């Protein structure tokens, strides 16, 4: 049975019960991110595989698109060359870190599907925001809605042992 961390992600993302009801669910700072914005990539090495419509970036890879950044060791960029180069998907491997203005997510592997506007991290996932943290095996962020879902995965997958765990800060009350 798969366990999801929607409630934990809601708490992490700083959304109270009233705001949940008002907004319809947990909201990431990446809600409405412009996946059509230009993508800048820097790395130690690049290999373009023109016949396969992809480029491999290796070593200290840094990706920036508007307020979103991604750092990893290896990145495969899949693109369409019809009518000019259009990036379709970014596949990252090796210590993937995705950062927005108020959140940081980490995982072993990452997929940013620009067409579907989804960011998925798998393997030892950690999502941090304002001192709170949620851990699991898989994180999916929908850039259209801002909804973030963390799964624990099956036993033995990733570092969470099949469960979603969290540590949350509590605001000081007067």
Residue 20 has pLDDT above 80, yes or no: no
Domain assignment present for 33? yes
Task: For the chain, report the end-to-end CA distance as a whole number of angstroms.
Answer: 42
Distance CA 108, CA 122 (A): 6
Is the pLDDT at 145 greater than 50? The verdict is: yes
What is the residue range of 69's domain? 6-167
Q: How many domains does the chain have?
A: 1
Summarised one tens digit per residue, pLDDT across range 53-111 is: 999 999 999 999 999 999 999 999 999 988 888 999 999 999 999 999 989 999 999 99
Token readout for 85 is: 């180069």
* Mean residue pLDDT across the chain: 83
**Residue 130 counted as domain residue:** yes
The residues with which 133 forms a beta bridge, in sequence order, are 128, 167
**pTM of model > 0.85:** no
Task: Give dist(CA 50, CA 58) in Å, integer.
Answer: 17
pLDDT, tens only, 1-11:
344 444 444 44
Note whether residue 173 is domain-resident.
no
- 55 located within any domain: yes
Considering the domain boundaries, does residue 172 fall inside one?
no
Q: Alpha carbon of 51 to those of 37, 117, 132, 172: distances in Å?
A: 25, 25, 45, 58
Say which CATH number the domain at 159 has. Answer: 2.60.450.10
């Amino acid at each position: 049975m798969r366990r999801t961390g929607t409630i934990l992600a809601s708490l992490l993302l700083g959304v109270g019960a009233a705001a949940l009801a008002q907004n319809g669910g947990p909201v990431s700072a990446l809600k409405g991110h412009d996946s059509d914005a230009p993508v800048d990539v820097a790395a130690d090495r690049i290999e373009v595989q023109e016949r396969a419509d992809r480029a491999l970036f290796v070593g200290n890879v840094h990706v920036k698109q508007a307020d979103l950044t991604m750092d990893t060791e290896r990145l495969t960029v899949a693109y369409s060359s019809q009518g000019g180069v259009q990036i379709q998907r970014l596949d990252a491997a090796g210590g993937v870190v995705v950062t927005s203005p108020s959140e940081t997510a980490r995982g072993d592997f990452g997929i940013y599907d620009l067409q579907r506007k989804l960011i998925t991290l798998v393997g030892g996932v950690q999502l941090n925001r304002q001192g709170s943290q949620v851990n699991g095996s898989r994180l999916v962020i929908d850039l259209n809605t801002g909804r973030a879902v963390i799964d624990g995965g099956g036993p033995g997958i990733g570092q969470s042992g099949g469960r979603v765990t969290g540590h949350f800060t509590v605001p000081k009350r007067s």
